Chains A and B, each alone.
Chain A
Amino acid sequence: MKALILVGGYGTRLRPLTLSIPKPLVDFCNKPILLHQIEALVKAGVKHVILAVSYMSEMLEKEMKEQEQRLGIRISLSHEKEPLGTAGPLALARDLLTDSLEPFFVLNSDVICEFPFEEMLRFHKQHGKEGTIVVTKVEEPSKYGVVVYEAETGRIHRFVEKPQVFVSNKINAGLYIFTPKMLERIQLRPTSIEKEIFPVMAEEGQLYAMELQGFWMDIGQPKDFLTGMCMYLQSVRHKNPERLHTGPGFIGNVLVEPSAKIGQNCTIGPNVTIGPEVVIEDGVRIKRCTILKGSRIHSHSWLESCIIGWSSAVGQWVRMENVSVLGEDVIVKDELYLNGASVLPHKSISDSVPEPSIIM
C-alpha cells in the first residue's frame, strides 16, 4: 500500500524552530513528527510513502534515506516547483500512486492522533466508494470547515466552511484514504481539494466520513504543539505507561530520553518532554514544556509552556512562560523573565521580555 504525506513548504507557523530544520523533522515527544506518521503507516502495511514537498531540503532527503533502510520501505519525494494547492500534489504524484489498484492514504503532515489506518482501510473497502475522510469532534467547530454526514452510513452530504450557526461539530481531521480512480478528478494545476474536489465527490455520493476515536491535534504552531504534546503523553499513559518517567520530583506525564541528566531538588511535570543529552541542573521547575536535544537548563529556573530549541542554554533563576519558544542555540542570561518570547536561532538574550515579542 502507498501513502502520500502533504509536507508542504517552509513551515513558517512553527518558526523559529523551522528556521533550523524542516518541519517534518522537528521532534514531537522525542520523535520527528513525520516519523510518528510513517511508523503508523508501516504498521498498517504501507510499503511506499511519498512526501509531497514544495521546498526541497537536503536534510530531509538524507533523513528519509536512513529511514528507508531502517523501516525497510520505499520513501519518495515529490517536489512541486510551483504551488499546487491541497489537491495538485496528488496529481503530481499520479504515476507513483496509480501503479497499483489498491487504495492509498493521504495525510496532512501536521496531524497527530492515534492513527486509525487499519480501521480506515476496512471502512473504505466496506463502503466501496472513492473516498473516506476521517473526521474528529471539536469544541469550537466554527473555527474550521465542518463536515455534514449521515451518522449511520457515514455518507457525506456537504461541507460548510466556518459556519455562523451550529451545523455540526465534526471537522476534517486531515487523514484520507482514496481509490486510485479518484485521481481522474484532479488536474495538474493549483487546486483546493476541500473547495473543488470534495464537494463534487459528496454530491455524487462518493465520499464517506469515519469518526476518529481518541485525541487529535494540528501541531503546526507552538501553542498547539504543546497542547498536542499533553494529549499524546496522556495517550502514552494509557497505552504504554512504562515509557513515562516516574519517581520523586516527577509529577504527571513526563517523557525523558535516557541520555538526559536531571539534577537534585527539581520538580518536573506534568506534561514535559525532555530530549536526548539535555541537562537539567538543580532546583529547576518545568511544567508543560518540550526541551529539545542538547539543551541545558541552569539551576533554580522556572519554565511553563515553553519549547526550548536544540543546544540552547537557559541561565540560572530564569522565568519563562506563556508559549515562549527558543530557536536553535539560543542563550538566555541569568535572572531574566521571558513572557511569550519567540527567539530566533543563535541569539543571546540579556534583557527580560516582559510582554510577548519576537526577538531577532
Chain B
Amino acid sequence: MLKAVILIGGPQKGTRFRPLSFDVAKPLFPVAGVPMIQHHIEACAKVPHLKEILLIGFYQPNEALSRFLSSAQQEFKVSIRYLQEYSALGTAGGIYHFRDQILMGGTKAFFVMNADVCCDFPLMEMLQFQKRHGDTNSFVMLGTTANRQQSLNYGCIVENQDTHEVLHYVEKPSTFVSDIINCGVYLLSPEIFQYIGNAFQKNQEDLSIEENTNGWQRPESIRLEQDIFTALASHGKLFVYKTNGFWSQIKSAGSAIYASRLYLNSYNKTHPERLAKTKDGGPTIEGNVYIHPTANVNPTATLGPNVSIGTGVTIGAGVRVRESIILHGATVQDHSCVLNSIVGWDSIIGRWARVEGTPSDPNPNDPYAKIDSETLFRDGKLTPSITILGCNVSIPAEVIILNSIVLPHKDLNRSFKNQIIL
C-alpha cells in the first residue's frame, strides 16, 4: 500500500507570494494553467498502487480548497483528503501528528512532497531506487545539482558515490558543503515515525529544562530537514536519488513565471493537448502557451513564449503577451503589451497600456543555476522584478506600469515605475 503526502503550509507561510496569496492559497495558484499541487497529484496518479493522497497544512478549510479536492478526486480517481494541523507543526511535526492516518490500511511506504516545488516528480524511479539501496525501510531523498554559490540557499547533501547513502546533510550552510541539494521530495517508510517520535521526546525534555523565551516554540513543531535528516545521515538509513530533470522552488511570484515555463515545456511530452498552436483564424502563438478553452483571444493577438491564459480571460485585438500569467476573468484591451507580469483575477488593462516586469531568471548559461529568491529591496530601492497586479486592479489606457506591485482592488490613474502601490 502506497500513499503520498503533500505539505501545503498555511497563511503565515509563503508570505513572499503576496499580494497574490491574499486572494488564493499559494498551493492552489495556477502554474502553467493548473493549480500548483495538481502537478504533484498528476504525478502521483501515474504511480500504480498509490491509493491515497493526503494534504497536510494549516489553512482553514475554504471553498476553493474543497472544490479543488472534489474535482481532483473525480478526475484522477484517487482518494484525496485534507488534514488540517491545529497550528504550524513543521515539515515533520505534521506527518507525525497524522501518522495514524498515513499508516491506516497498511501503508508500506509513502511519498512526502513540498507543495511549492516545481518538478518532474520521478516517483517510479525513486521507488525502484529504494528497492536497490539500503534495506526495505530506507528513506530516499530526491536531489539535484546546483551551482556552488547557490547551493548555500538549500539543504546540502554529501553522498557516498557508490552506495548513494547520505553521509552528511546540512540545511542552508554558510560555507560550501556540496552542490547536491534537497528537492523537497522524499520516499519514506513507517520507520520514520520512530525517529520523529524520538525528536519529539527530546524537544519536550529540552523545553522543560530551558526557559521558554519564545512563546511560540512547541515540542510538536519538528522540521524534517534540520531535526531529522541531519541526524540520520551516515546511519545507513537515508539515501539520495539524483535527478537531472527540471526542478525549481516557487517562493515568490517571479518564480511562478519561471516554474510555468518549466512545466509548459514539459507539456510537449506529457500533455501536448494543453499547448496552444497557431492556426487559421486564431492568435499567433510563439513557443509554449497555455490557453484555457473558455478564454476569448482575438486572432490579431500574439502570445508567448511562456504564457498562461486563465478561464474567461479576454485578450483584445493586437495584444502582445510574453512570459506572463493572465489569471481568471482578466481583460487585456486592444494594442496593449504585457511582458514578465502576473495579471490578477478580474483585472482590466486599458488600451495601449504597457505592463512590464523584469525577469529574475537563473543564468541560462549555467545548467545548474537556480532562480534566486530575490530580496524585495536592495540599497533602499525596490529591486526590479516581475510586475504583479493583484485581483480586480484597473490599469487605464496608454500608461506604463513597470517593475511594480499593485495590491488588489486598486484603480490606477497614471503610470508607475518601480513602486509598490497600496
Contact = CB atoms under 8 A, between A and B. Distances in A.
Interface of A: 265, 282-283, 285, 299-300, 302, 304, 316-317, 319, 321, 335, 337, 354
Contacts of A321: 400
Contact of B322 (A265, A299, A302, A335): A335
A337 B398 contact: no
A282 B318 contact: yes
A337 B339 CA distance: 11
A40 B352 CA distance: 41
B318 A265 contact: yes
B405 interface: no
Contact of A354 (B319, B320, B352, B417): B417
A321 B339 CA distance: 18
Given A265-B318, A283-B318, A337-B356, A300 B337 contact: yes
Given A265-B334, A283-B335, A300 B318 contact: yes
Contact of A300 (B320, B339, B356): B320
Given A302-B352, A302-B398, A316 B320 contact: yes
B354 A354 contact: no
Interface string B307-329: 00000000001111010000000
Nearest to A281: B318
Most central of A300, A337, A354 by chain B CB within 10 Å: A300
Interface residues of B, number: 17
A317 B417 contact: no
B398 A285 contact: yes
A354 B358 CA distance: 12
Nearest to B403: A354
B337 A317 contact: yes
Nearest to A355: B417
A117 B335 CA distance: 47
Interface in B84-117: none
Contacts of B317: 265, 283
Interface of B: 317-320, 322, 334-335, 337, 339, 351-352, 354, 356, 398, 400, 402, 417
B402 A285 contact: no
B337 A299 contact: no
A335 B334 contact: no
Nearest to B351: A285
A317 B417 CA distance: 18
B243 to A, nearest CB: 35
B337 A319 contact: yes
A335 B339 contact: yes
A110 to B, nearest CB: 32
A335 B337 contact: yes
Nearest to B402: A354
> What 5 pairs between A and B have smallest CB-CB spacing?
A283-B318, A317-B337, A300-B335, A300-B318, A317-B320
B358 to A, nearest CB: 9
B316 to A, nearest CB: 10
B285 to A, nearest CB: 16
Contacts of B351: 285
A337 B320 contact: no
B130 to A, nearest CB: 48
Contacts of A354: 402, 417
A317 B337 CA distance: 6
A302 B354 contact: yes
B334 A283 contact: yes
6 contacts: A265-B334, A265-B335, A285-B351, A302-B335, A335-B320, A335-B322
Contacts of A282: 318
A337 B335 contact: no
Nearest to A352: B356
Contacts of B417: 354
B318 A337 contact: no
Given A265-B318, A265-B334, A285 B400 contact: no
Contacts of A319: 337, 354, 400
B186 to A, nearest CB: 43
A282 B352 CA distance: 12
B352 A299 contact: no
A27 B91 CA distance: 70
B412 to A, nearest CB: 16
Contacts of B335: 265, 283, 285, 300, 302, 317
A300 B320 CA distance: 9
B318 A299 contact: yes
Given A321-B400, A337-B356, 7 more contacts: A265-B318, A300-B319, A300-B320, A300-B337, A302-B335, A319-B400, A337-B400
A302 B400 CA distance: 11
A316 B319 CA distance: 10
A218 to B, nearest CB: 29
A274 B322 CA distance: 31
Contacts of B320: 300, 316-317, 335
A272 to B, nearest CB: 15
Contacts of B337: 300, 317, 319, 335
A302 B320 CA distance: 13
Contacts of B400: 319, 321, 337
A302 B396 CA distance: 14
A298 to B, nearest CB: 11
B323 to A, nearest CB: 11
Contacts of A304: 398
A156 to B, nearest CB: 46
Contacts of B354: 302, 319, 337
A302 B336 CA distance: 9
Most central of B318, B320, B322 by chain A CB within 10 Å: B318
Nearest to B322: A335
A335 B338 CA distance: 9
B389 to A, nearest CB: 17
A299 B319 CA distance: 10
A304 B322 CA distance: 23
A308 B318 CA distance: 23
Nearest to B353: A302
Nearest to A319: B354
Nearest to A334: B320
Contacts of A302: 335, 352, 354, 398
A302 B334 CA distance: 12
